[in-house]
Structure 1
């Protein structure tokens, strides 16, 4: 077997210029090129600088797609641009902004109905191309004369559509990505509102139009898929006749092949398969009125669980507020023995005191009230402080201590149940 011969690469290269404009150039000197390299190419009346966007066999396919013939009209590539070429090219590009603003002032003075969108200088600064858009034909012969006198350069006027204008300016679409016309889309096909109708989109101009003011190009991307899916869905031009009433089409789910119908005076929608709709249409055409939309009676709509839960909570709240608050009963004070102590009647100051009767002492507060006074920062009673270490039995003038009123022992709120340490009689603490 013979060894394979060396593969010869396709000698035509695709070169991209400012604004996404692309053209094909021949590489006769077989210069080694890489995608993205700046190259100096031959143009009418001079030379220009562009960047390699495609090379190899893909260029052959691209030429077949755009119907470009491989003949002698294709111009050639001189060389790869060096630093000096790029410096001159950048200086020329810096003049484009000021030139465009000055040209707009001249257009405004001449009162021409046109919109100047961009200016492109040739790399050798021998020609400037002015891109504009207009609704009607514009007579710009006087404009060209004034522009040539102002900038001392050869002028070329090129009219572009609004879609090309948006592609040259660039931007971000409603999808969050860069505009298709400024990245990869080169052929602009006509877009109509029928594409939106087939896809069940709302005919809202603000949502269907792009930055160019025309209908979005992406409406045509999925149109073929919708057209194929719509073949199995019947066309409903009149309501379906049932014993429940006339069913009116409300919505169609194309890919699930489900159609939603509703009755007059009923807010509920009922899903019906496309095959069942076609069957009902055939029966109605013969004069038969079906009993139900589906083969069986539709189930009753179930109430949402969340709604039932909320309604139950509201009913419980109503019952609670209707019953009212219950009054708390006062508990009677009990002794440690379990006997209930009655509240003594208040003694009047006018009644004489009996012989040997001791004066009534002020009733002390219960323990829980004492503890609350301490926690709330109030003044606690002096008896409830710390236990007295040198406690001596108090004696009256008669010497009988049993007749004295019983002195309550100090209580500790936090050490309940523990008795305080009492010193032995006759000793000092």
Structure 2
């Protein structure tokens, strides 16, 4: 019997018996099958080391309980993959499946505990407070590919005049409410007067509520999840006075990869794309290639001479969930024409260093922007600690994306 398959069988046995911490330890190589301690010299959990392995979700105390976020020492650095973190349970499962080989499928780990609990991501600390006359409505859309719930933010200043629309795609284990809280995009909608729509992935479509960016069927126009996200976008445009030339799509992690897919499949619908900690369109076509792409980068198809989709990327240099090379590949996939790179460096108010590379045309107009975050992990830069997967220390990714979007209108709309 393949020892890797045997190890997976032991992981499933431990999980079934409620020994979730032991199961995670086995996946991470911190315990041998049967619960034995790792051999001397193997990597263990050293809580006193600056480079210690930090599990980013805490196992339940009782079988069948909910996985919960850890208690952070301070509320100012709420990130599930900060520079101090190393290997999360999801990454450990990824590593196990990667070693099992190309025969691994999603069903190999569907029976393992849902890392984000049953809520699809850590809940916000308190119900969102809305300004007078603002609305944050829960809706749903049904298309040929199924049904997805979504939330729509209508700012208090909306008066029926034409406004931009920003489509926000959350990451794995997150929800529309969580993503809205973490990115503060609704606050910016109040300030700048635009609509924000948050499509929500369902647990039936993916146990971790990940958008299926890695599925070949979900990378095609008019098919699968792209058709649902486009359908939600078009439904909002039909009901409200949306400027059709100023519709933008943004995503984080799996949502970032899905945003890249939407920019590629619906260039007539979206004027620009924002990808935070995500991957390029087509970087993977199934689960094994997705895990490989997250670890070392994907096999990216060139644009083939098509018009450049204006794209802005944020990615942490120490992202251990989606390797930073993927951010570079998002940009590389769009590069073309007579663009030159202009690089600058800066530091956020909270002290995070970053490198910003803009690809500009002869007039100096930015078409592509890549912001590399020094020391940052898998977290939304400049986000609120009220939401999950955020790093408040970073530059304000939400505001910078909006600034970039304002420079681009869709002539194809």
TM-score scaled by length of structure 2: 0.21
* Higher RCO by CA contacts (8 Å cutoff, separation 6 or greater): 2
